[in-house]
């Protein structure tokens, strides 16, 4: 690989690092909102809402099409994020 291509890759990676930091800030805000929702749940049965998950994934698919994004990629990201937040909610749930 030429030195020039290496420099281009490093430049792009710096942009990715900056974007990752912004995404972490968004994840922090999202986590706070999920935590607020969790505080209003009275039983662990309320943690997984299959209808809500289905609506979210359908919306992601529609928005991905509009934005010309790879649907498989975005649905995979959201599915994994949903699973991670479900795990988070189970870990943080306190019986009322």
Q: What is the pLDDT of residues 22-64, one digit of tens each?
A: 999 999 999 999 999 999 999 999 999 999 999 999 999 999 9
Task: Set out the domains of the chain in order of their start, with CATH numbers.
Answer: 3-92 (1.20.59.10)
The CA distances from residue 29 to 12, 18, 22, 53, 80, in Å, are 26, 17, 11, 19, 18
pLDDT at 96 (0 to 100): 47
| Overall pTM surpassing 0.95 (yes/no) | no
């Amino acid at each position: 690989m030429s030195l020039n291509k290496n420099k281009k890759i490093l430049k792009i990676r710096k942009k990715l690092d900056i974007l990752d930091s912004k995404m972490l800030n968004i994840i922090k805000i999202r986590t706070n909102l999920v935590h607020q929702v969790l505080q209003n749940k009275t039983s662990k049965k309320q943690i997984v809402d299959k209808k809500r998950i289905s609506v979210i994934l359908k919306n992601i698919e529609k928005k991905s099409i509009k934005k010309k994004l790879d649907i498989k990629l975005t649905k995979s990201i959201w599915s994994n994020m949903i699973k991670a937040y479900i795990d988070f909610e189970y870990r943080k749930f306190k019986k009322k």
